[in-house]
Amino acid sequence: MVNNIQCAVVEHQAAAYENAESIVLLLCKECAAGVGKINLPESLQAAVNAFIEKYPDFYEVEAVNSLALMHEGKLLQLTIVGCGEGKECTPANFRKAAGAAVRALQKQKITTAIVAVPLLLKATRAHYLQAIAEGLYLGAYKFNECKGESKPATECNITITSAVENGEAVLAQAEAIAQGVSLTRNLVNRPGNWVNPVVMAEEAGKVAEAYNLEIEVLDEKEMAAKGMNAILAVGQGSKNPPRMITLKYNGAGDAPYTAFVGKGITFDSGGISIKPSENMGEMKDDMAGAGAVLGAMQAIAQMKLPCNIIAILSCAENMPGGNAQRPGDVVKAANGKTIEVVNTDAEGRMVLADAVWYACEQGANRVIDIATLTGAVIIALGNETSGIIANNDELAEAIKAAGKKAGEAFWQLPSLPECKEAIKSDVADLLNSAGRAGGCITGGLFVGEFIKEGVEWAHLDIGGTSTATKTSGFKVKGGTGFGAMTLIKYAGTL
């Protein structure tokens, strides 16, 4: 059960549809021709044919058309959800359609439903089945934790018609992924007064305990001993102390570790370079990178993927307290480089500086960091696509490919060596901000300065994608969990 949804699979047989309260058909244009093969009772088959004729655009991605009819003396909801045509008929679009489908079921207060999918008549379509289940679980997500009296959401048992081999095992994977992504969403949606760096460490502790992962939580003193003055500088303006949290998952013996490093600013006021008050509250989501890393780590451990991952959540609260860092301050990061703090609102790259260094220090030969690092990425790429800055094009391509599987879009930005000039300081080694021009690129390049020679690295800027202003597909308004699923799919390729 995830988000009050339980999925199961059944063969495409007449008995499957008996006594159903609701039948949802997931159809692309081409699948519509195959509706005759899924063994619907004759009268329903006739209704579906009439329905398709009445709504010729039924196949458009996420189009939902529903009608109630009497079937054997009982009310039956028949819903058709479109999954595209031709090249659009991807697992990603079926995932989106499944998200729209489950919200239609919730709205209709359905407690048992059949999701009938002619596309799954082929035994080899496991990736489609998995995407559909992910969409059903994640499209149903709701964040109710902050409501004083939350009414219990109705549970819905969904049976998917499928001939896919090992269907139950495929569903178990989808469930693990949806649980991981939902954990990310919960952390992102929780307000800043509920989630501080110590709470992040507790949340990581729960995951470590449940899946038997190694965990280390560094407090201020321990970070100081390691010279992690960049994260400490960011955290020093807050009463809530910073934490550097490391989890280790060993699923591949002594193979080298890949590190996932997340920005975990539990609230970003901007510090002394304070942000305008309008919409400042949105900055409770500034730990979305760390949230994505933790959600991914939970799913990877639950799925027992054959890979070795170090997860680092670099957590601090950026506040303008009496002990806060000042613009003009110079701090020495753990790798020995000095940083001139021109803008205390460019804090994400500072917490990541020490974190990616720590990942390399622990022997990772590949580092992927993920962060709500800049507003500039929104100007460059909008709210659907995350930016990639990398020192290795194959790694960037692998992340884009994993993103495609996850229904999450990434785009690699150019990072010419010349761009590094912009982050050079006159008084120190580096400037923490190079202003507006190419802000997403210079932000990423700054983080890259703390990667050890020879280590593959990619930086994912989710500044525009970590939250959504409207519900659509498998994403629900609020925290999207963006990046968690991509990291899981990427780990699946290791």
Q: Which residues bind ligand BES (CB under 6 A)?
A: 268, 286, 343, 345-348, 372, 374-376, 433, 439, 463
Residue number, 167 or 348, with CB nearest to ligand BES: 348
The entry of Zn ion, ligand BES, Mn ion, none near residue 375 (CB within 5 to 8 angstroms by kind) is: ligand BES
Whose Cβ is closer to Mn ion: residue 91's or residue 463's? 463
Query: Residue 336 Cβ, how far from Zn ion at the closest point, in Å?
Result: 24
Least Å from the CB of residue 268 to Mn ion:
4
In this structure, what are the phi and psi dihedrals at residue 211, rounded to the nearest 5 degrees? -115, 15
Q: Which does 433 bind (CB under 5 to 8 A by kind): ligand BES, Mn ion, Zn ion, none?
A: ligand BES
Q: Which is nearer to ligand BES, 268 or 456 (CB)?
A: 268
CB atoms within 10 A of CB 346: 25
Binders of Mn ion among 373-402, rule CB under 5 A? Answer: none
Contact 2, 171 (CB under 8 A): no
Respond yes or no: is residue 349 known to be catalytic.
yes
Residue 248 to residues 212, 219, 298, 392, Cα–Cα distance (Å) = 9, 18, 11, 24
112-120, 149-157, 242-250, 342-350 -> range binding Mn ion (CB under 5 A): 342-350
Query: In the complex with ligand BES, which residue's Cβ is closer, 9 or 234?
Result: 234
Find the helix or strand (DSSP H, E) in which 176 lies: helix 167-189
Choose one: 88-96, 346-354, 395-403, 478-486; the region binding Mn ion (CB under 5 A): 346-354
Long-range contacts, 384-387 (Cβ 8 Å, 24+): 384/409, 384/464, 384/465, 385/409, 385/410, 385/411, 385/464, 385/465, 386/410, 386/411, 386/460, 386/461, 386/462, 386/464, 386/465, 386/482, 386/483, 387/411, 387/412, 387/413, 387/440, 387/444, 387/460, 387/461
| 439: partner contacted, choices Zn ion, Mn ion, ligand BES, none (Cβ within 5-8 A by kind) | ligand BES
The smaller minimum CB distance to Zn ion, of residues 268 and 369, is found at 268
Closest CA to 234 of 288, 315, 313, 312: 315
Q: How far is the CB of 270 from Mn ion (least distance, A)?
A: 6
Helix (H, G, I), strand (E, B) or coil at 418: helix
**Binding interface with Zn ion (CB under 5 A):** 265, 268, 286, 348
Please, what is the minimum distance in Å from the beta carbon of residue 255 to Zn ion? 34
3-class SS string, 335-390: CCCEEECCCCCCCHHHHHHHHHHHHHHCCCCEEEEEECCCCHHHHHHCCCEEEEEE
We find the least distance from the C-beta atom of residue 351 to Zn ion, in angstroms, to be 9
Catalytic member of 103, 190, 243, 349: 349
Q: Which of 142, 226, 275, 404 is catalytic?
A: 275
For residues 454 and 452, what is the distance between their CA atoms, to the nearest angstrom? 6
- Select the binding partner of residue 340 from Mn ion, Zn ion, ligand BES, none (C-beta < 5 to 8 A, by kind): none
Strand partners, 112: 157
The pair of structure tokens assigned to 183 is 């954990």
Do the beta carbons of residue 316 and residue 195 sit within 8 Å? no
Answer yes or no: 151 catalytic. no
Site for Mn ion in 255-274 (CB under 5 A): 268
**Cβ distance to ligand BES smaller for residue 31 or 288:** 288
In this structure, the dihedral spanned by the alpha carbons of residues 309, 172, 410 and 437, taken in order and rounded to 10 degrees, is: -60
Q: Which of 21, 345, 369, 456 binds Mn ion (CB under 5 A)?
A: 345
The residue among 88, 86, 167 whose CA lies nearest residue 124 is 167
Least Å from the CB of residue 385 to ligand BES: 14
Between vectors from CA 147 to CA 142 and to CA 152, what angle results, nearest 5°?
Answer: 60
Contact status, residue 107 vs residue 158, Cβ threshold 8 Å: no
Q: Which is nearer to Zn ion, 155 or 282 (CB)?
A: 282
Q: Output the smallest distance, CB 330 to ligand BES, in A.
A: 17
Choosing among ligand BES, Mn ion, Zn ion, none, which partner's interface includes residue 374 (Cβ < 5 to 8 Å by kind)? ligand BES
With CB cut-offs between 5 and 8 Å by kind, which of Mn ion, Zn ion, ligand BES, none does residue 343 bind? ligand BES
Which residues of the shown chain bind Mn ion in the complex (CB under 5 A)?
Answer: 268, 345, 347
Report, as residue numbers or ranges, the catalytic residues.
275, 349
